[in-house]
Amino acid sequence: MSGNLSAIQHSQVTAEIVNQLAFILGSEHVSTSPSAREHHGHDESFHKCAPPAVVVWPTRVELVSEVIKVCNEHVIPVIPFGTGTGFEGGVTAVKGGVCMDLTKMDQILDVRAEDFTVTVQPGVQRSTLNNYLHDTGLWFPVDPGADASLCGMAATSASGTNAVRYGTMRENVANLQVVLADGRIIHTSGKGRSTKKTSAGYNLTNLFVGSEGTLGVITQATLRLYGRPETTASAVCSFPDVQSAVDTTVQTLQCGIPMARIEFLDEAMIDACNKYSHLSYTVTPTLFLEFQGGEKAVNENVQAVLEIAQMNGGSDFQWAKKLEERNHLWKARHDCWYASKSLIPGSSAYSTDACVPITSLPECIIAAKEDIETAGVKGPIVGHVGDGNFHIFLITDPDDPNSEKNIRWVAERVAKRALSVGGTCTGEHGVGLGKQKLLLEEIGEEGVRLQWQLKRMLDPNYIMNPGKVLPQLP
Amino acid sequence: MSGNLSAIQHSQVTAEIVNQLAFILGSEHVSTSPSAREHHGHDESFHKCAPPAVVVWPTRVELVSEVIKVCNEHVIPVIPFGTGTGFEGGVTAVKGGVCMDLTKMDQILDVRAEDFTVTVQPGVQRSTLNNYLHDTGLWFPVDPGADASLCGMAATSASGTNAVRYGTMRENVANLQVVLADGRIIHTSGKGRSTKKTSAGYNLTNLFVGSEGTLGVITQATLRLYGRPETTASAVCSFPDVQSAVDTTVQTLQCGIPMARIEFLDEAMIDACNKYSHLSYTVTPTLFLEFQGGEKAVNENVQAVLEIAQMNGGSDFQWAKKLEERNHLWKARHDCWYASKSLIPGSSAYSTDACVPITSLPECIIAAKEDIETAGVKGPIVGHVGDGNFHIFLITDPDDPNSEKNIRWVAERVAKRALSVGGTCTGEHGVGLGKQKLLLEEIGEEGVRLQWQLKRMLDPNYIMNPGKVLPQLP
């Protein structure tokens, strides 16, 4: 079954097709310039740039539908593009075709503060939404680090540092407008609906969350909002080893203490942070913690976690209660990616992403450090440790011809080890180009076959972001 | 497309088929007795009993698969059965066939306390699991009231009183083992996997959660567990009207106060509770509240909610901090169903279920009370108000020949009003037999067509719980 679909020969984008797209969208919203094509042919990873034949900027959902109908008729790939901040090559145009840049659909449509929902067009970025919401006392907590587009975050099932408390995009999308491969415009929970929960029929919303543009183009998302907590406090705590940091996390969760963030940084990451962000943390495995709630609740939780950490050998506590101090701390955390890249001037980097049962995290991190050592590469480690999710920022060395090969070796070892302990090869970055064989190993032939069935049902001409997510079956 | 599938003529269960099932399962696990068939032909609602031709009790997933293969070959319906505590006729054998009672597969397979997961077979009930977990300090919080089977809860996407804090089954199922209509046994997240999150391919788990047995039989579920909170406090608070109770809820959530439960009971419900559970609450719209966390956090949150409630005219606070008092309070809440039925001796009852944006809740509840008045029936109202979800326990009067008709009229008005304000016709009970036309209105023809496509893909012979969930298209 997969063979049939992935054997489809896509058509070239001819001058005639470009003219047709310009007729639909206006010529100012269509470009074949090399710079536009190059810009849209890659994400933030080291996956090779594969430029689309043409880039289009639709401004309304009806135009998205029109463009897709043309592409479906001519069997031309359609690749949705948000901010290009992915890590698995999801936007690369490996089969050519039309890149659909959605940044001109950038309206925040419907803030319903008392219903805790907002509806956004696909070009709205995370920080734009949260700035817009500032005066409502609400916020959208899912935060993958990058200032990604919210519909792009839905497409990859993104999450990040706040997921331990607020969940991932899967839990925070109430409704989607999606344009299917035949041009149909659907609302996964019914048009205009936004309830906190529903049992009405099959869960179409979560079929599209995480589908990485391969089942349709997300053109609108209704998201859940949360009240901003009264008090927030952050802290940094050093540990003698990985195990004690993870033990602290497990015991904290077992006590039912509602953590807002629990981030792990290994000593290599702390060292890079110290240099890049001009900090002076002890160079040892470290947790960055965040507490939210009423003032007394925060103090009580801080005290409880402090005790748990001390029992596990934690020390060098540094508290950040003022907004400015907290911002400084979390900016350092979010700058980890840049701090890592700055270790080797002129480098690019690949952020691997694995998620494991939390008790397997110490062995997986320790073994990953051995792999990094063996490969002779640089790879600071950070982790959303409360979720068992961790990343290694693997840095290429432009002076070492084997660097990329060595990095891929580490990444594959880490992913396969995650699978061997009951984990997943990607907690939040998605499969994209890079993890298709691992997906096959993870869910097995039966699982992949079922996913191909879904793909074929929704995209019989194989035009939606072809070459992504689904591996060929043996 | 829907026409084709729903026009399929199912075969009768012949004596030969019964013999074949007895050969597979052992004759002690197959019954055609009238009492077994009658028991398995209805749930707790007033949907008419439709007995299956035969009831089977498989003891292993391989036997589930064998039975389904036989049914698929002969085009015979298969209806999964857990505890029969549903409300929308999901287990009625409206097309005849084989009822598959899963209660003999009742093992708790794999408690991983430090990974916060457990795997259960389909016959394990909620209270059994929580009793089993007692000494681990963990619990599974989703609580629909009935002591349902956990896989049945997954099948209907159940939720209940704790959902405002812990989410529904959608958020708390990490992996499912499912037997498809062709007998394939799949693991939706890959065999043996249980991570807190994943972005690996399409979300098959949530395709089956809420599918009500129409896409496959759930034979195993891996669930998320939580640390039991250090302190729990419950309270009852009376309000002058519905609006002030809902305003209190909205303001509480806007302040980011992490409520464990916020349950609304209207004055009719309080009156019935007082009588049934020998209580003496003021007969007026009321909130039952629950707070969890550290002791200081609980006290602080209690104080904050007290102030919000008082600003909205709340009074007659009664606190229950001791376990015994709390159990008494929540037993009264869980007994609402029986308290309502006791209003008319010999009655049966129908629990409607709608979920709306929370700001629409007061108008929907007030209008529902007018409908109840107009119809001349009894219908106490309870609501998981933090989620905008409410139920009316509509009581049939055996002495009134129009009673059932009047009840259906109220239920339909309530559902259609929920749809008109952007809500859903079912927040947690599912579609089953009773809400198929409403589903069409809710998600539209395009949405239903897509759901039929999914159904056809996974169940081309239309054997999995046929006649449920999906409406015929016009």
A109 interfaces chain B, CB cutoff of 8 Å: no
Residue B198 placed within a domain: yes
- Residues A194-224 have pLDDT tens digits of 999 999 999 999 999 999 999 999 999 999 9
- Nearest residue in chain A measured CA to CA from B435: A200
Do A254 and B193 count as a contact with CB atoms less than 8 A apart? no
User: Phi first, then psi: what are they for B240, rounded to 5°?
Assistant: -70, -30
Q: Say which CATH number the domain at A406 has.
A: 3.30.70.2740
3-state secondary structure B302-370: HHHHHHHHHHCCCEEEEEECCHHHHHHHHHHHHCHHHHHHCCCCCCCEEEEEEECCHHHHHHHHHHHHH
B197 interfaces chain A, CB cutoff of 8 Å: yes
Q: Say which CATH number the domain at A296 has.
A: 3.30.70.2190
Are B270 and B389 within one domain?
Answer: yes
Q: Which of B184, B209, B443 sits opposite A200 (nearest CB)?
A: B443
Q: Say which CATH number the domain at B270 has.
A: 3.40.462.10
B149: containing domain: 108-227
Q: Which of B193, B426, B444 sits opposite A424 (nearest CB)?
A: B193
- Number of residues written out for chain B: 474
Do B297 and A297 count as a contact with CB atoms less than 8 A apart? yes
Chain B positions in Cβ-Cβ contact with residue A117 (cut-off 8 Å): 357
Chain B positions in Cβ-Cβ contact with residue A425 (cut-off 8 Å): 200
Counted domains in chain A: 4
Chain B positions in Cβ-Cβ contact with residue A185 (cut-off 8 Å): 446
**Scanning the structure block, which residue is given the tokens 């969890």?**
B292
CA distance A69 to chain B (A): 17
**Domain end: A82, A104, A126, which one?**
A104
Q: Which of residues 33-52 of B touch A (CB under 8 A)?
A: none
Q: Say which CATH number the domain at B83 has.
A: 3.30.43.10
| Distance between CA atoms of residues A173 and B165, nearest Å | 17
Ramachandran assignment for A402, one of left (phi > 0), alpha (psi -120 to 50 degrees), beta (any other): alpha
Are B302 and B247 within one domain?
Answer: yes
A135 interfaces chain B, CB cutoff of 8 Å: no
Chain B positions in Cβ-Cβ contact with residue A159 (cut-off 8 Å): 197
Do A355 and B431 count as a contact with CB atoms less than 8 A apart? no
Residue A1: pLDDT over 70:
no
For an interface test with A, give the residue of B109, B191, B202, B207 to mutate (most A CBs within 10 A). B202
Mean pLDDT of chain A: 95
B376 interfaces chain A, CB cutoff of 8 Å: no
Residue A332 placed within a domain: yes
**Stretch A308-330: mean pLDDT, rounded?**
91
Q: Which of residues 202-221 of B touch A (CB under 8 A)?
A: 202-204, 206-207, 209-211, 215
Residue B472 placed within a domain: no
Are A216 and A122 within one domain?
Answer: yes
Chain A positions in Cβ-Cβ contact with residue B302 (cut-off 8 Å): none
Do A209 and B203 count as a contact with CB atoms less than 8 A apart? yes
Are B24 and B170 within one domain?
Answer: no
CA distance A31 to chain B (A): 31
Residue B441 placed within a domain: no
Are B357 and B262 within one domain?
Answer: yes
For an interface test with A, give the residue of B172, B198, B303 to mutate (most A CBs within 10 A). B198
Are B206 and B242 within one domain?
Answer: no
Q: What is the structure's pLDDT at B381?
A: 97
B183 interfaces chain A, CB cutoff of 8 Å: no
- Angle of helix A242-254 relative to helix A295-311, nearest 10 degrees, comes to 140
Are A244 and A142 within one domain?
Answer: no
A154 interfaces chain B, CB cutoff of 8 Å: no
Residue A462 placed within a domain: no
- Residues A221-267 have pLDDT tens digits of 999 999 998 899 999 999 999 999 999 999 999 888 889 999 999 99
Chain A positions in Cβ-Cβ contact with residue B119 (cut-off 8 Å): none
E-only strand ranges, B129-248: 138-139, 173-179, 185-187, 217-224, 226-227, 231-238
Q: Which of B138, B202, B422 sits opposite A193 (nearest CB)?
A: B422
Q: What is the structure's pLDDT at B2?
A: 45
Q: What is the structure's pLDDT at B1?
A: 44
Are A95 and A119 within one domain?
Answer: no
Are B210 and B130 within one domain?
Answer: yes
With beta carbons less than 8 A apart as the criterion, state whether B199 and A459 touch: no
Residue B313 placed within a domain: yes
**Domain end: A173, A207, A227, which one?**
A227
B248 interfaces chain A, CB cutoff of 8 Å: no
Are A389 and A362 within one domain?
Answer: yes
Residue A469 placed within a domain: no
- Residues A269-298 have pLDDT tens digits of 999 999 999 999 999 999 999 999 889 999
A98 interfaces chain B, CB cutoff of 8 Å: no
Do A204 and B357 count as a contact with CB atoms less than 8 A apart? no
Q: Which of B207, B226, B435 sits opposite A207 (nearest CB)?
A: B207
For an interface test with B, give the residue of A140, A196, A208, A250 to mutate (most B CBs within 10 A). A196
Residue A45: pLDDT over 50:
yes
Mean pLDDT of chain B: 95
Q: What is the structure's pLDDT at A258?
A: 87
> Of B292, B407, B159, whose CA–CA distance to A198 is shortest?
B159
- Residues B197-220 have pLDDT tens digits of 999 999 999 999 999 999 999 999
User: Which residues of chain B are under the pLDDT cut of 50?
Assistant: 1-2
Chain A positions in Cβ-Cβ contact with residue B206 (cut-off 8 Å): 170, 203, 206-207
ipTM of model over 0.85: yes
**Domain end: A176, A206, A227, which one?**
A227
Q: What is the structure's pLDDT at A348?
A: 87
A240 interfaces chain B, CB cutoff of 8 Å: no
Q: Which residues, 6 or more positions from A406, have their beta carbon under 8 angstroms from its beta carbon?
A: A375, A376, A377, A400
B135 interfaces chain A, CB cutoff of 8 Å: no
B297 interfaces chain A, CB cutoff of 8 Å: yes
H or E element at residue B392: strand B389-395
Query: How many CB pairs below 8 Å do chains A and B form together?
Result: 321
Do B423 and A193 count as a contact with CB atoms less than 8 A apart? yes
Are A175 and A85 within one domain?
Answer: no
Q: Say which CATH number the domain at B115 has.
A: 3.30.465.10
Are A158 and A263 within one domain?
Answer: no
- Residues A395-437 have pLDDT tens digits of 999 999 999 999 999 999 999 999 999 999 999 999 999 899 9
With beta carbons less than 8 A apart as the criterion, state whether A294 and A282 touch: no
Residue A471 placed within a domain: no
B119 interfaces chain A, CB cutoff of 8 Å: no
Q: What is the structure's pLDDT at B323?
A: 87
Residue B398 CB: number of other CB atoms within 10 A? 11
CA distance B74 to chain A (A): 23
Ramachandran assignment for B213, one of left (phi > 0), alpha (psi -120 to 50 degrees), beta (any other): left
DSSP class of B380: -
Q: Which amino acid is at B385?
A: V
A181 interfaces chain B, CB cutoff of 8 Å: no
